[in-house]
Every structure is written in C-alpha cells, then in structure tokens.
Amino acid sequence: MSTPQILFDVADHVATVTFNRPEAMNALADDMRDVLLAQLQDYAKDTDVRCVVITGTGKAFCAGGDIAAMAQWQENNDTSVIEGLLVTVEQVVHLLRAMPQPVIAAVNGPAAGGGMNMALACDMRLGCEKTLFSESFVKIGLIPDWGGFESLTRLAGPAKAMELMMTGERIRAEEAYRLGLLNQLYPMETFRHEVQAFARNLAAGPPQALAAIKRGIHAATDASLRAALDFEGKNQVELILSKDAREGMRAFLEKRPPVFGT
C-alpha cells in the first residue's frame, strides 16, 4: 500500500492536515490539491472540528507545485492541466476564507511558491527558526498564485510585496515575523507542542463568535480577492508556455542559473 501524500487527523476538536512528501519538500503533486479541497469541505461542515492546522512532514512546510510535472506540460504545449489545477486552487483559497473554523498554517520549514501563498491564505501563521518563505515563482518565469497578490500585498504592503515577488528572495523567520507574515515564532524543539496548544486554545473558544470574527475581519479586507485570483489564473496560464518559463523550469531541473529574455 502506498503512503498517503496528505495525512489527516482530528483530536481535541483540532483537525491537522499534514503534507506528506518529505522527500520532495512536500511539493504538491498528482491529486493532492483535490484531496485537500475535499477534506477541507468535510471539515467545514463538521461541528466537532473547531480549528484546522495545516503543516508538513519533515523539514519543509510545502515547496509549492511539482516543477518536473510543469515542465512536462510545457513539452506537450498543454495548459489544460494547469487550468484545472488553478480552478481547484481558487476553490481551496475561497474555502480557507469561508469555512467557519480558524485555519492555522504551522510553517515548520521552507514554504516556497504556492506553499508560501497557501500559508498566507490561512487565517494565521505560526513559525519557528526553520521557517523560510519565498515567492519563488519569478525564478521560473511565472507569477504568484494561490491568492498571493491579495494576501501578501495586504499583509506586507504593496512596495514590499513588489520587492518579494520580483526578486523571489528568501524571507527568514525573524523578518517574516517583523513583516507580519507570522503571528507567533516558537523554538523548533517545542514548535509542534506550541502549535497544538495554540490550536486547542482556539478550539475551546465559542465557535459561533469565532466564526463571526473571522467573517467580519475578512469582510473588511478581502474585497480584492476575487480580482486577484482572476488575474492570477489568466496570466499564469499564458506564462507557463512562455520562453522564460520554459528556461526557468529547465534551469531549475538542471540545477543551473536561468538565463531569461533570450
């Protein structure tokens, strides 16, 4: 029997979602996005679940999409797969905002590309000294997705979001905390324990009041989410077959610096 690529567990009214491809830094492959969406839909309707935690196995939170698979789509000049994936991604992002429970990203290590923006789409983010963020899309000739244009701009401000998206530079834990990308920063040795204690504390709160607080805060801040997701979907599909994206992904897979604009 193959090992599940995502693990699910519920204890003390806290549902924990764990990406389970440690050998690939928990990059999203195969049907992982669909499986995630289906399970979150179930949790959203489950009154026994009062808080949701999303994290990763091993040393990484999530490295985003599987670049080897993307390179194969380029070889086939086929955008149909990414179009379908982006539809699922939009559904996941909207569900993270709409589900009544608070959703916490427990960022146990690197969160790059779609992994970073998935974390930003959650209601709160908890980190440790191993936490590392990167809007790495630009390094393979693409733009951020998973609602990153809306979430990073809202959290860090337009000028910093521009810098991080255009450079793809790494944001270490202390800087991420300073920018407001992390709510709390815990020692690595107690990280899992602190995350569960934080989540259990929320799960012990009044569910209806917490759901109303979540709705109220997002109602005040997410007016541009639909526009951001529409923008990302249209432009990502166009860019994936561009010369720069082909060069970026070949360079990544060949472990060399890309040469763009040729």
Instruction: Spell out the domain ranges in the chain.
Output: 6-188+206-254
Residue 222's pLDDT is: 65
Sites in the chain below the pLDDT cut of 70: 1, 222-223, 262
163: Cβ–Cβ under 8 A, 6 or more apart, which residues?
A: 169
Residue 1's pLDDT is: 61
pTM summary value: 0.89
Please give the CATH number for the structural domain made up of 6-188+206-254: 3.90.226.10
Residue 191's pLDDT is: 98
184 token code pair: 């709390």
